A and B are shown apart, each in its own frame.
Chain A
Amino acid sequence: MQVPLLTVENLSVRFKMPDQVINAVNGVSFSLNTGETLGIVGESGSGKTVTVLSILGLIPKPPGEITGGKALFEGQDLLPLSTEALRSIRGQEISMVFQDPMTSLNPVIKVGEQLREALWTHNPSESRSNHRRRGIELLDMVGIPQPERRYNQFPHEYSGGMRQRAMIAMAMANRPKLLIADEPTTALDVTIQAQVIETLKAARRETGAASILITHDLGLVSQIADRVIVMYAGRIVEEGRIGDIFSRPRHPYTIGLLASIPSITQRRTKLYSIPGQPPDMANVPPGCPFHPRCAVGGERSVCRSDSPRLAEMGTRHQAACHFTEEAASWLAGRAT
C-alpha cells in the first residue's frame, strides 16, 4: 500500500477565550494520497478551516492552541515545527487559496510583486527577471488576459474572479505537492465560480498536486473530489469515496445535507432543510452532537449520552452514528 502524502491523526484544536473555551476540532483523523482530491464539507463553525490552518501553523496563537494529534506530511510531523521550519513547507510543499480574494491580497502591493515574492522567498538565488518571467507565465496559466500588463497592477484593478485566479497562480508558483483551497468560490458570483473551479482543476492537472477542497457546497465536491469528509461540531461524522457518500450516505447529517440540494428532476413543493441550528461551539450538546437535530436518533437516550465513534460501513467508508442502518432506511423511506 502506498504511503499517504498527508496523514492527520487525532487532531484537536481549541480556542481559549476570556470567558469560554471553544473546542473547534476534536480528534480529527484522515489521510490523503499523492494526486488525490479530498473534499471537506460542513457548516460554518464545523472546524473544517481550523483543521487545515492548524496543519500549516496558521491559526492565531493565542487564543488558538493545538491540544493533541499529529499532522504527518511525507512522514514528518508538522505540528511541533517552529515558524522558521514551517516556512519552507508553506507555499513550497503545501500552499493555500483562501475564501475571500477581495481581502486576501495586500491592497498596497502590486499583484506581480506579490507573485514574485512567493517565488523569491523559496528561490532567493534566482534572478529577479527570471521570477518576473515565471510570474507572468503563471498569470497566463490561470487565464488572466494581458498578463504583462496585469503583472504591474494593484489588486483593486482586478475583478473578484481575477483576484482569485491570481491567488491560485500564487499558490501554484512553487509547484506544491498539496494545494488547500478554503471555500475558493464562496465569495464569488455564480458565473465566476465555475471558471475559478476550472482554473483550479487545470492548475492541479498541470502540477499533479494533491488537493483539499473545503466547501459547504456538496455539488461542487461531487464535481472535483475523489473522497469526502463530512464534519460536524469539530468532528468527522462521515467519510468515504464520492460515489458511496452520494449513493449510500450513512450518517443522518450527511443524508440531511444531500436532501437539502434542490433537484431539477424531482418536483417538490418545499426544499428540505435540516431542522434546528448549528451547535454553539462553546456549548456542544452531550453525546452525539447532532442529536438535537437528528430525525433518526433524536429522542433516544444512547444518542444523548454516548458520542458515536467512526465505524466501517464498507470499503473506505466510515460513519459515526449509533443507528446507521435506520438512517439508511429512513433515507429509503424519504426517497419513495
Chain B
Amino acid sequence: MTRYVARRLLHGILVMWIVSTAVFVIFRLVPGDPAAMTLGLDASPEDYEALREELGLNDPTHVQYLRWMGNLARGDFGKSITHGYAEVSGLVFPALGRTLELAALSILLAVIVAVPLGMISAIREGTWVDHIARVFTTLGFSMPTYVMGIGLLILLAEVFPLLPPGGYVPFGEDPVKHLSQLIMPVLTIASVTAARLTRFMRAGMLEVLSADYVRTARAKGLTERRVNYWHAFRNAAIPLVTEVGVNFGLLVGGMVVIEQIFIWPGLGWLMIQSILTRAFDVVQIAVLVSAATFVIVNLLVDLTYSWLDPRIARS
C-alpha cells in the first residue's frame, strides 16, 4: 500500500515537472517574448530593454529555466507587473477556490442525481423509467453548456427575475446572495455532468447485474434490494469513482465559458482577463495551478480506488 501511494505520488510529481517545463517553453521561447507581450507593440525600445533586464530575459536560457523551477519549488509564484506588482498567488489561489467551489457543488449535485437514476435505469432496463432517464441523458449530452447557461439566464433572470444574473459576492459578506448566485452556474454544469455520469452508471450497473456473483447472491436467497444495492452497486461504484474524478478535473480547467457567462471570478475568468490585459505572469501560473489540480484530483481518485477495490493495492 505504501509503495502504491509512493509510486502514484512520484508519477504526479513527474507530470507536474513536465507541465511546468512546457509552460516555461511556451511562454519564453516562442516568438513575442514576455516583455513584448506585457508592453505591447508601441512601447519604446528603452522601456522594452529595461523590462527584459528586469525579467531576466537577457540571461542564458538554462539560467532562466533553473530560476523558474527553483522559484516554483519554493512556492514563489512571483509578482505581476500588470497588476501593480501584486503577488500572483494572491490572485490565482482565491480564483481557484471559487472555481473549486463551483466544480465541487456541481459534481456533488450531478452524483446525487446520476447514481440513483443510472441504477434504477439499469435495474428497470427497458421500462418507462429507463426510457425517461435516457431522454434526459441524451438531452444533457447534446446541449452545449453555453446554450444551457444562456437559456437559464434568460429564463430565471430575465423572464422570471428570480435569481441574480450572475456576479459574485463572498459568502461571508452575504450568504444568501452568494448561494443564489451559485444556483444557475451549478445547474448548468451539473446537468451536463449528470447526463454523462448517469449513462456511465447505467452501463456499469447493467454489466455487473449479469455477473456470476450476482446470480450467486440471488441463489443464496438474498433480497433483490440487497442484491442490487449491495452486491451489484459496490462493484459498479468502483469505475464510477474514476469517472467522477476525471469529470471534476476537467471541470476545474474547463470552466472558462461558464465563468464568463455568469461573471464568476474563478480561474477560467482570471485566465481570460489576464490574457486580455496581457498579464502573462498570471496566465502561466493559472495554467500551472489548473494542471496541478487535475493531477491532485487524479491522485486522490487512485487512492480511493485502491481503498474501494481490495484487488488493486496488492497488485
Please give the residue numbers on chain A whose beta carbons come within 8 Å of chain B beta carbons, in ascending order.
56, 58, 60, 83-84, 87-92, 95-96, 98, 100, 103-109, 117-118, 121-122, 154, 156, 167, 170
Residue among A84, A88, A92, A117 having the largest count of chain B Cβ atoms under 10 Å: A117
B222 touches A117 (CB 8 A): yes
Contact status B210-A60, CB under 8 Å: yes
The verdict on B11 contacting chain A, using a C-beta distance below 8 Å, is: no
Q: B221 and A58: CB pair below 8 A?
A: no
The residue in chain A whose Cβ has the minimal distance to the Cβ of B218 is: A58
Cα distance A167–B210 in the bound complex, in angstroms: 19
In the complex, the chain B residue whose C-beta lies closest to that of A122 is B221
Interface flags for B207-227 (1: CB within 8 Å of A; 0: not) read 000111101111111111010
Residue of A nearest to B210 (CB): A60
B interface SS class: helix
Given contacts A83-B224, A118-B221, contact A98 B215 (CB under 8 A): yes
A106 touches B215 (CB 8 A): no
Tell whether, in the assembled complex, residue B216 and residue A106 are in contact, meaning their CB atoms are under 8 Å apart. yes
- Whether B308 is near chain A, meaning CB under 8 Å from some CB there, is yes
**Among residues 33 to 63 in chain B, which have CB atoms less than 8 Å away from a CB atom of chain A?**
none
Is the C-beta of B238 less than 8 angstroms from some C-beta in chain A? Answer: yes
B206 to chain A, nearest CB (A): 12
Closest to A83 in B: B224
B297 CB to closest chain A CB (Å) equals: 23
Give the Cβ gap from A13 to chain B, nearest Cβ, in Å.
16
Report the tally of A-B residue pairs with Cβ distances under 8 A.
76
* A98: contacting residue among B216, B223, B224, CB under 8 A: B216
Query: Is A87 touching B216 in the complex (CB atoms < 8 A)?
Result: no
- Is B199 in the interface zone, CB < 8 Å from A? no
Given contacts A107-B311, A156-B310, contact A91 B220 (CB under 8 A): yes
Bin the interface of chain B by size.
20 to 34
Hey, which chain B residues are within 8 Å of A90, CB to CB?
Answer: 218-221
B234 CB–A CB distance under 8 Å: yes
A108 touches B309 (CB 8 A): yes
Q: Are A104 and B213 in contact (CB under 8 A)?
A: yes
Closest A residue by C-beta to B230: A109
Starting from the known contacts A92-B221, A105-B213, A154-B311, 8 additional A-B residue pairs (CB-CB under 8 Å) come to A56-B219, A95-B220, A98-B215, A106-B213, A117-B222, A118-B221, A156-B311, A170-B220
- Asked whether B219 lies within 8 Å of A91 as measured between CB atoms, the reply is yes
Nearest CB on B from A152, distance (A) = 11
Pick from A87, A108, A154, A167: contact of B234, CB under 8 Å = A108
B133 CB → nearest A CB, Å: 19
Cβ of B304 to closest chain A Cβ, rounded Å? 13
Chain B residues within 8 Å of A84, by CB: 223
- Given the complex of chains A and B, what is the CA–CA distance between A38 and B183 in angstroms? 66
* Whole-angstrom distance between the Cβ of B209 and the nearest chain A Cβ: 9
Whether B231 is near chain A, meaning CB under 8 Å from some CB there, is yes
Report the Cα distance A170→B219, complex, angstroms.
10
Known: A58-B215, A89-B221, A154-B310. A121 touches B235 (CB 8 A): no
Question: B231 → chain A, closest Cβ, in Å?
Answer: 5
Which residue of the partner chain A has the closest CB to B231?
A: A106
A108-B221 in contact (CB<8A): no
CB-defined contacts of B211 to chain A, threshold 8 Å: 103
Q: Which B residues are CB-close (under 8 A) to A109?
A: 231, 234
| 8 A Cβ contacts from B55-77 to A | none
Closest to A91 in B: B221
Q: What is the CB-to-nearest-CB distance from B305 to chain A, in angstroms, rounded to a whole number?
A: 12
Candidates B213, B218, B220, B224; contact of A107 at CB < 8 Å: B213
Query: A84, A92, A105, A106: which has the most chain B beta carbons within 10 Å?
Result: A106
| Alpha-carbon distance A122/B226, docked complex (angstroms) | 13
Given known A106-B231, A108-B309, A108-B310, contact A121–B213 (CB-CB < 8 A): no
> Nearest Cβ in chain B — how far from A107, in angstroms?
6
Give the chain B neighbours of A170 by CB distance below 8 A.
216, 220
In this complex, the member of B219, B222, B308 whose beta carbon has the largest number of chain A beta carbons within 10 angstroms is B219
Q: What residues on A are CB-neighbors of B215 within 8 Å?
A: 58, 98, 104
Q: Are B235 and A108 in contact (CB under 8 A)?
A: yes
